[in-house]
Amino acid sequence: MIDTVVFLLAALVVLSGALGVILARNPVHSALMLIMTLFGIAVLFVAQEAHFLAAVQVIVYAGAIVVLFLFVIMLLGVDEADNLETEPIAGQRPAAGVVALASVGLIVLLAVRSMEVSSGAQELSHALDGEGSNLEKLARVLFTDHLFAFEATSVLLVIAIVGAVVLARRPPADQVGDRTSRAGRVR
């Protein structure tokens, strides 16, 4: 009974937050609605006994990624409301609605089908239930079977940091808007 109530409340939070993201005119409101959705997802993770991922969801997504979004919005000063009345391409919104409805139908169909198919062989060595905490089991798999992928993600993060620094660097004042001299200097 409590499970059902928790699921329904979290689902309401997730869906209303998601609709808020795409319907809010102001990007700041979109970002706040995104936080609401992320918290709802974290609640659903806890309900499915993924405690570590719920914590990471709140810390990384709500704590870091959305704050980064808000920083960029404030930095660029694009927090004025978008004009949502005009439709730049004729018939774009009805088409998007049709695509969204079709994708809901297809994904639900796929999920129902996969529930029948995926009841076969289960991997016994990495079971989620049994002794130990969720974090312990996750760490054991992560640092044995997926060690290479884990190291690769660390390289990926370093590359992302370097890329962000290069992209966000402000060019020297004499080169702004002067593409030819800039390209010459790079060569």
Partner 1 sequence: MTVEPSWYLVLSALLFSIGGAGLLVRRNPLVMFMCVELMLNAVNLTFVTFARMLNDTGGQVLVFFVLVVAAAEVVVGLGIIVAILRRQPGADADDISLLKG
Window 39-78: residues binding partner 1 (CB under 8 A): 41, 44-45, 47-50, 52-53, 56-57, 60-61, 64-65, 68-69, 72-73, 75-76, 78
CB of 103 or CB of 181, closer to partner 1: 103
Of 9, 74, 147, 157, the residue at the interface with partner 1 (CB under 8 A) is 157
Please, what is the minimum distance in Å from the beta carbon of residue 184 to partner 1?
Answer: 19
Of 90, 91, 117, 168, the residue at the interface with partner 1 (CB under 8 A) is 168
| Interaction residues for partner 1, span 85-104 (CB under 8 A) | 88, 92-93, 95-97, 99-101, 103-104
CB of 101 or CB of 187, closer to partner 1: 101
Site size with partner 1, rule: CB under 8 A: 82
| Interaction residues for partner 1, span 12-31 (CB under 8 A) | 14-15, 18-19, 21-22, 27, 30-31
Residues 6+ apart with CB under 8 A from 61: 38
Residue 11 · residue 17 · CB < 8 Å: no
Backbone angles phi, psi at 156, to 5 degrees: -60, -45
CB burial of 105-125 (b: ≥16 within 10 Å; e: otherwise) equals: eeeeeeeeeeeeeeeeeeeee
Give residue for tokens 């409101």: 29
Per-residue x/- marks for partner 1, 114-153, CB under 8 A?
Answer: -x--x---xx--xxxx----x--xx--xx---x--x---x
- Structural tokens at position 53: 């991922």
The C-alpha atoms of residue 183 and residue 178 are separated, in whole angstroms, by: 9
Burial of 37 (0-12, 13-18, 19+ CB in 10 A): buried
Please, what is the minimum distance in Å from the beta carbon of residue 155 to partner 1?
Answer: 10
